[in-house]
Amino acid sequence: MNKCKYSKVFLAAFAVTLAQGCCDDEPAAPTAPAEQAANEPAKEAVASKANTDKDRRKNRSSGEESQSNISQSAQPSWGSVRLPMMNSGSARAAVGTIHLYKVWLGRWDSQKQQRIEGYLETDLAFIAKDATFYDKSVSFEHHSATLGGFRTLTDNDTQPAEDYDTWTNVLGQAYNTSPKALTADVSKRGGNGWVLLVFGDQVGRSFSSTANGESGNMEVLIFYTRSPHYTNGLRSIIDTSGHVITHELLHVFGAIDLYPTDTFTASQANLAKGMWPDEIMIDDKTQPSFRIHGYTAYQLGWHDRWDKAWNGLKPSDTK
Ligand SMILES: [Zn+2]
């Protein structure tokens, strides 16, 4: 059961959409720092910025000086082909300054917590480094809170459907704020977006989700320290390694899974694997290290050059 779902739920009553990126239920070797592969797209100058970026800066009030100082490398690039998770939620893209609102659910052993923080640091450095290959910059500001009283999340094989309300509630309890207020605050401080990172020292399938609701947009990553692993239909529980955070974070910034899902066929997955065996969104556990290749980089807002060779890799919900 390595396959995870990419599902969309539309709840008309609340005008909420949830697009779940998916999950990882197996451990793998810790992510090694990526090496620039010889066949990767060379570092290319990014074309002059789209009008939308200029307009957005223009619309900011004069009191928000820092906004106009955001370098072009901190602005996302968008091409004409729109993949389903691109440019959604408050973080929109893996560029600029992203605020990470960490919530530690329940009681934690401090050593274990440090280990998870270590995974996170490694994974954030990996993402930041690969961004530079596209002349983009991304940095992360950390906020941390514990939520001892919150119920533990349920361990079931389907992702929780109540995401938006659940995570709004978690954000409210941990930081006493709402998605809308937080988005405004982060924007005022010159941040490009924020992500809610929820850590549970329990069994579960880590996943990420983009929730766009009436009260604001949010992107959530849930990381469980122990994952259920299925072998011949039987479940065992295995500690989860760090690279899972990278994979899930890239979902948060717009990347799709490149293994078979509800919207990405097995033959598409084979095609992707042939092109990029070590791509992190393929998540092949046999790879010693991972890379963020051009197709995923496109979805992260790192470049706007759609390659014809990727035409067969559009998921069925591509707009
Ligand atoms: Zn995934």
pTM: 0.77
Tell me what the mean pLDDT of segment 67-95 comes to. 84
To which residue do tokens 């009008």 refer? 51
Distance 85 CA to ligand 1 centre (A): 12
Tell me what the mean pLDDT of segment 1-12 comes to. 32
Distance 189 CA to ligand 1 centre (A): 31
pLDDT at 241 over 80: no
Closest CA to 179 of 145, 143, 213: 213
Phi, psi values for residue 170, rounded to 5°: -60, -45
Distance 2 CA to ligand 1 centre (A): 10
pLDDT at 88 over 60: yes
Distance 49 CA to ligand 1 centre (A): 30
Max Cα distance, the chain (Å)? 61
Distance 291 CA to ligand 1 centre (A): 14
Distance 225 CA to ligand 1 centre (A): 16
- Give tens-digit pLDDT for 35-79: 333 334 433 333 333 333 333 333 333 333 344 456 788 899 999
For residue 154, what pLDDT is reported?
56
In the three-class reduction of DSSP (H, G, I as helix; E, B as strand; rest coil), residue 40 is classed as coil
The rounded distance, in Å, linking the Cα atoms of 42 and 151 is 48
Please compute, for residue 272, the number of CA atoms within 13 A of its CA located in the half-sphere on the CB side: 27
Distance 23 CA to ligand 1 centre (A): 4
The rounded distance, in Å, linking the Cα atoms of 27 and 237 is 10
Distance 250 CA to ligand 1 centre (A): 8
Distance 223 CA to ligand 1 centre (A): 12
CA angle (191, 45, 248) in 5-degree steps: 45
What are the boundaries of each domain within the chain?
8-25+79-253
- Give tens-digit pLDDT for 141-168: 999 999 887 666 654 434 554 567 888 8
Q: Helices 243-252 and 110-132 meet at what angle, rounded to 10?
A: 60
Phi, psi values for residue 21, rounded to 5°: -85, 170
Distance 244 CA to ligand 1 centre (A): 9
Q: pLDDT exceeding 90 applies to what percent of the chain? A: 45
For residue 293, what pLDDT is reported?
96
pLDDT at 99 over 50: yes
Distance 84 CA to ligand 1 centre (A): 14
Distance 281 CA to ligand 1 centre (A): 6
Q: Which two tokens stand for residue 196?
A: 């809610």
Distance 33 CA to ligand 1 centre (A): 20
Distance 56 CA to ligand 1 centre (A): 31
- The length of the chain is 319
Rounded to the nearest integer, the mean pLDDT of the chain is 76
The rounded distance, in Å, linking the Cα atoms of 173 and 227 is 26
pLDDT at 29 over 70: no
Please compute, for residue 124, the number of CA atoms within 13 A of its CA located in the half-sphere on the CB side: 19
Closest CA to 93 of 5, 193, 227: 193
Q: Which residues pair with 231 in a beta bridge?
A: 234
Q: Which helix (H) or strand (E) holds 23?
A: strand 16-24
Which residues have CB less than 5 Å away from ligand 1 (the ion)? 22, 257
- Give tens-digit pLDDT for 200-222: 888 878 888 877 677 667 788 88
Contact 4, 205 (CB under 8 A): yes
Q: Which helix (H) or strand (E) holds 297?
A: helix 294-299
Sequential DSSP letters for 131-173: HHTTT--EEEEEEEEEETTSPPPP--SSPPTTHHHHHHHHHHH
Distance 59 CA to ligand 1 centre (A): 35
